[in-house]
Amino acid sequence: MYHHVKKLMYTVKVGDPDPRFGNMLLEQFGGANGELAAAMQYSVQGLNTDDPGLKDMLMDIGTEELSHLEVIGTLARMHLKPMKKDRDAAEADPLIAICGGGGVNLYNSMGNAWTADYLKITGQPEVDLRSNIAAEARAKIVYERLIDFCDDPGSKDALQFLMTREITHMKVFMTALDSLGKKPLEIGKLKPTEGLVDQYFNDSTGEGDGAKDMTGPWNEGGDWERVDNPAFEPGKMKVDGD
């Protein structure tokens, strides 16, 4: 059950409206890493899970994201409002100015309509929690860039609040993932093929323009077995687990 409380989660103050910045803010309203996507992803995951603890947490955060949508929508609306009457302002986002009268709508900053294709929902807790951790990381960096491009102190304060909450959510999802007690590479039920799982395929050859084969902890040391040019020697691949 949802209930609307007639106040914002964070009070929004804007000094001088900046329609071009308002257009950028739409990325967090109707964009791929925005608040509606976050609210829908976590709430729908919450509907799908049978674990009462995860369900409660996902619905809590999904609901908070709806409150973020309200804050970012209010902030964007304040910056976009001059578009309604001012021709120069309208040029910052003709779609919003002409079709929406300077009001927010569920588009990203380039005018692409919001889509459920943004959502990552698999019904597998260790997979969905990782998607959520990545979603929060993307939201954090988008807020950081918006703050960098913002001159208005009141807008910066609201964005700082929203950015901080995304890190809080990241902390919740990471802790929840840890609480499942699964090893980092343990996904689902089936085990990967032994041997094959530890083979690093070096699928490039040649040197030129400063490019050469590189090594790092991602292909050297530990359990790694480096296999050069498997395309030419496919027998090196441990497909039978031997």
Nearer to Mn ion, 65 or 82 (CB): 65
- Distance, CA of 104 to CA of 73 (rounded, Å): 7
Q: What DSSP line would sit under 39-72, residue for residue?
A: HHHHHHHHHH---HHHHHHHHHHHHHHHHHHHHH
Nearer to Mn ion, 95 or 121 (CB): 121
* Distance in Å, CB of 200 to Mn ion, minimum: 34
Q: Could you tell me the two tokens for 41?
A: 């992803």
- Distance, CA of 224 to CA of 218 (rounded, Å): 8
Q: Contact 90/16 with Cβ under 8 angstroms?
A: no
* Distance in Å, CB of 41 to Mn ion, minimum: 10
Q: What DSSP line would sit under 135-150, residue for residue?
A: HHHHHHHHHHHHHHT-
- Distance, CA of 58 to CA of 66 (rounded, Å): 12
- Distance, CA of 201 to CA of 227 (rounded, Å): 5
Nearer to Mn ion, 18 or 136 (CB): 136
The residues that bridge with 59 in the sheet, in sequence order, are none
Q: Contact 131/41 with Cβ under 8 angstroms?
A: yes
Nearer to Mn ion, 77 or 169 (CB): 169
* Distance in Å, CB of 95 to Mn ion, minimum: 24
Nearer to Mn ion, 128 or 166 (CB): 166
* Distance in Å, CB of 225 to Mn ion, minimum: 39
Chain contacts with Mn ion (rule: CB under 5 A): 35, 65, 68, 166, 169
* Distance in Å, CB of 109 to Mn ion, minimum: 17
* Distance in Å, CB of 115 to Mn ion, minimum: 18
Nearer to Mn ion, 21 or 29 (CB): 29
